[in-house]
Structure 1
C-alpha cells in the first residue's frame, strides 16, 4: 500500500467503477477531509469534515505553530487517516498551505503526518492560486475575472479567462493576519492592500471584471448577505453580490453581536471571530480593483486539484449536464432515456436560447428521480432535487427553472411552485412549466422506456401540437396520454392533434 499522494491498492473481487478519492487539506485555519466518488469531472462528496485547528493564529507573534494547534492537527490527521481506511478509498491527496509553509516548525507537522501515513505536499503560494483558479473554472466554465482565495494565512489571487489561469499571486494577507494589521490602524491595512495589489498591475485591466470569492471566511460573509437580502435559496454557489455590498457588510458587522450572527442560517460559528477582518479586506480589494460584481464559488483548491488531473476531453464537458446525467441514471426505473426524452421534446422548443436549452436537458436528465417517492410528494421531491441539488455550472435563477420544470413534470400542475418566481423572469418560469408538461407527456406516453419515444414524434406546426405515430402503435395513445397532450397544447396556445401514419 502506497500512502499519501498515493495510490492505496486493495483487493476487491470487482474493480470499483467510480473511484474514491480523499483530499486532506491542511490549511492555516482549518484541516479538512473530503472524500469524493463519481465522474472525475464532477465527483460527488461522500464525506466532508473539518477541524478548526488554527495553525496560523500564532504565526505573527511567534513565527511557529502553537503546541495546542499542533496537537489538534495531529489528532485530526490520525482520525482522517483511519476514516480513509474504513471508507476504502482508492487514493489520498494531502496538501498543506500557508501556515505550514511559513511556520518555523511546519516541517514537524509534515513529519507527523508522514508517520500517520500521509505523503503531504506543501503548496507554494502560486500553486495554491493556480488550483483555486482551476477550481472556479471547473465549476463555472465560462468564468472570466479574478479569483480571490482567502485562507487563514494567505490571500491568493488569479486571473482566469477562457478556461485558463493566467497571472497568479500570493500575499501574506490571510484572515488570521488581518487583525494584526488592523490593530495598527485602519489605514495600515488599506496601505498594505494597495502596496500588494499594485504588484499585480491589475488596477487598470481588472476594472469591471467579476471577483470570484473562494474560502470559508468569504463564503460566510456571503451567507450573511444572503440572510440580510432575503435570498430565497440556501445554496451558496454562484450567489452574486453587487460591489457596494462589500462595504455594507463592514457596517453591518459593526452593528451585529455574536448572538445575532449565530442566528444566521448556514453561518459556521467557527468563522464568526474573523468575519469582520474578512469584510474589511474584501471591501478594500473590491474598491482597488473596481470589480463589477462578486460571485461566490463553492469550488476551490481541492476541486482544482481534481480538475487538474482530468483529461482534456473530459474537462470540456458541461459540469451541470454531466452531474445531472449521472444522478438521474442512478435513480431511473429503466435504463436511462434522459437524452432521448430531451430529444423528443426539443422540436417544440426550437426557439429557446442556448442557456435555456441546457437547463431543459438537465431537467430531462433528472426526469425519473422522484418515482420512488409517495405519489403525493413526487412534485416536492423533484423540486428539491432541482433547487437544492449539489450542482455547479448553474446560477440561482437557473436553479429555479430546473426546480420548476421538475415540480411540474412530477405533477405540480401549471402553477409556479410555492415560493418560486423570485429569481427567474416570468417568461422563463412559464417556459419551464411548459418543459415540465412536455416531459410529463413523454414519460406517460413511454412509461419511462425508450422504444415509444424512438417510434413517435412530437411536433409543433400550423397552430397544432401533433403527436405522430404509426397506426399500429395507436394503443399507446391512451386516455392519460390524451389528457397530458391537451394540457401541454393549451399552455402553448396550440390545438392537440394525434397523427397516425
Structure 2
C-alpha cells in the first residue's frame, strides 16, 4: 500500500522543455516538447500560414506580405517561449529562405525577431532530418520518405535504422503552383520530368511511401472524412496505392477544392495546394508503384530531436517508452504493469501459441497501459481506456496496433463475449482480434488476484500444463479463490481449449 499512496499523483523525472521553430515556405510553426527523449510529447503547438515562398519560383524573391506575417509570428513565438520558460530553442529555415535572393536578409530579420540564430537547412540536410523523424516515429521502416513542403519535395530511402542519401526537388505546393502558372497540365509535366530523373524512386516498388508534410496530411484528412473513418489520429494512417491513385485523381480533377466533400476539415489557406500535392503524389505512384502510402506526423522537427539522442536511446521502442511514462504517471502501482508483462510472458510461452515480435510488443504496451484509466468511474473505464489508447499521440504504432490496444482494454472491462466496437474490429486481423480477447481474459484474472498491486503476480503464476490452465496460489493467498475467479478462468480456458484449475501450493 505504501507504493499506492506514494504514486497516486506520481510524476516522471523532471525534464526541461525544448522548442523548435520551423520556418517553412508555406507555414511558420512553433512546437514545444516536454523534453528530449525517445517519445517526446508536444505540449504547445502553433502555426501561422505565411506563404513566404509564394512567388519565389517566378520572381526569385520571398513574398513581401508573407515575410511581414512571418516576422510578426516569430515575435509572438518569442514571447510564448519566454512565458513557458524554454531555454533550449532551435530555429530552422527551409526551401524558400535558401532559394530566394532576399533569403539572407529574411534570415537575419527572422533571427532578430525570434532572438536566436536561424539555421538554414540545405535540401540534403532537410531530407536527412525528415528520414530521422520517420525513424523516430515508426518501429520498423522500409521505403522512401517523401517530405512535401511549400517550396520543395525531399526524397530519401529508409530501411530499418538506416537512411540513404537524400535529394531535394522544386516540387513544393507553392513552387509548383507558381512554376505552372496555376495550370494543372503544366504542373503534371513539370512534376513528371523532375521525378523521372529521381533514381531513388527506382527502388520504391512494393514498399512504403512515408508521407511527411502538411499538404500530405491535409489530403489524408480529406480521405479519412470521405470514408467516414472513425479514428482521427493521422500518424500511421495508411492508404493502399490503388485507393490513393483513385483518390488523388479525383482531387486533381477538381479545380475548386471547396467543392470537395468534407473539405471544411482543411484550413482554407491550404486548400489551393491540395491539387498540386495530389499531382505530385499521383506522379510518384505512376513512377514508382509503392505498395502503400503511410502518413508520418514525425518529420524534420522530430528528426532534429532524435539526432540529439545517444545511440542507446535511439534504439529504445517509442511505443513502450510512452506507455511506461503513462503508466508511471497514472497507475495505482506502476510496478504492477511490469509484473503483468512478465506474467503474461510466461502464460503465452506455456500456451505454445506462435507470437511474433510485433505481437509481443503490442501485448507489452497493453499491459503497461492497463491501469492508466483507473481513476475513471467504473461505468466508464472501458470508454476512457479506449480513448487513451486510440487517441494518444503514440509513435511506433499503426492504426491496427491502436485498435488492438483499444479492443484489449474494452474486452477487459466489458467481457470477452461482448460485441465491442465493430468498426474498430475491421482494422485488425482475425488473429490479432483473438489475441486481444486472449490478453484481456488473462488481465481479468490477473487483476482479481493482484488488486493492481505490485509483487503479487510473480507469486501467482498462471500457465498451461498439458490440457489444464493452472493458476497457482501460495498458502497465504489461498482465500483469493472465489466463484468469480473460477468463472474468469473458465472463460479464458474456453478461448484456449484448456480446463481451468486453481492449485494452492505450500
**What is the TM-score with the length of structure 1 in the denominator?**
0.91
Give SS of 2:71's match.
helix
- What is the alpha-carbon distance in structure 1 between the residues aligned to residue 454 and residue 241 of structure 2? 49
Match for residue 93 of structure 1 among 90, 94, 114: 90
* Residue correspondences, number: 487
Indicate how the Cα distance of structure 1 residues 159 and 228 shifts in structure 2: closer, same or farther if over 3 A, else same.
same
- Give the 3 Å change call, closer, same or farther, for CA 457–95 of structure 1 in structure 2: same
Distance in 2 of aligned mates of 1:18 and 1:463 = 50
Cα shift readout 1:321-366 (whole Å, capped 9, x = no counterpart): 1111111211111233212101112233232222211111100010
Tell me, which stretches of 5 or more residues in structure 2 are unaligned? Answer: 1-11
* 8 Å CA contact 1:28, 1:153 repeated in 2: yes
Are the equivalent residues in 1 in contact too, given 2:67–2:106 (CA < 8 A)?
Answer: yes
> How many Å separate the matches in 2 of 1:335 and 1:290?
46
**Residue 129, structure 1, aligned to residue 127, structure 2:** yes
Equivalent position to 2:220, from 203, 219, 222: 222
Partner-residue secondary structure (3-state), 2:225: helix
Change (3 A) 1:427 1:290: closer
Query: What are the within-5 Å matches in structure 2 for residues 16-35 of structure 1?
Result: 17-35=14-32
Please give the per-residue CA displacement for 1:196-242, whole angstroms capped at 9, x wherever unaligned: 33443235433333211110001111112222334332222122222
Match of 2:477 among 458, 473, 476: 473
The answer on whether the counterparts of 1:379 and 1:412 sit within 8 Å (CA) in structure 2 is no
Shift of residue 133, structure 1, vs aligned partner: 0.7
Alpha-carbon spacing, 1:260–1:346, altered in 2? closer, same or farther (3 Å):
farther
Find the aligned partners of 2:420 and 2:450 in 1 and give their Cα distance: 26
Higher relative contact order (CA 8 A, sep 6+): 2
The equivalent residue for 2:426 is 422
Give the structure 2 partner of residue 389 of structure 1: 392
Give the match for residue 280 of structure 2: 281
Deviation at 1:378, TM superposition (A): 0.1
CA positional deviation for 1:38: 4.7
Distance 1:203 1:110, change over 3 A: closer
Write the distance in 2 (CA, Å) between the matches of 1:360 and 1:260: 44
Instruction: Say which SS state the counterpart of residue 425 (structure 2) adopts.
Output: coil
Q: CA deviation at 1:190?
A: 3.9
Cα distance in 1 for partners of 2:374, 2:28 equals: 39
Give the drift of 1:315: 0.7
Instruction: Measure how far apart 1:32 and its partner are.
Output: 0.5
Contact 2:130–2:299, Cα closer than 8 Å, also in 1? yes
User: C-alpha separation between the residues in 1 aligned to 2:63 and 2:264?
Assistant: 32
Bigger mean CA offset, 487-496 vs 80-89 = 487-496
The residue number in structure 1 matching 2:117 is 119
Q: Which segment drifts farther, 344-353 or 429-438? A: 344-353
Residues 282, 258 of structure 1: alpha-carbon distance in 2 compared, 3 angstrom cutoff: closer
Partner Cα distance (1:133, 1:169) in 2: 12
Within 1, Cα distance between the matches of 2:329 and 2:155? Answer: 38
Aligned-residue RMSD, C-alpha: 2.2
With 369-378 and 194-203 compared, the bigger mean Cα shift is at 194-203
**Alignment TM-score, normalising by the size of structure 2:** 0.91
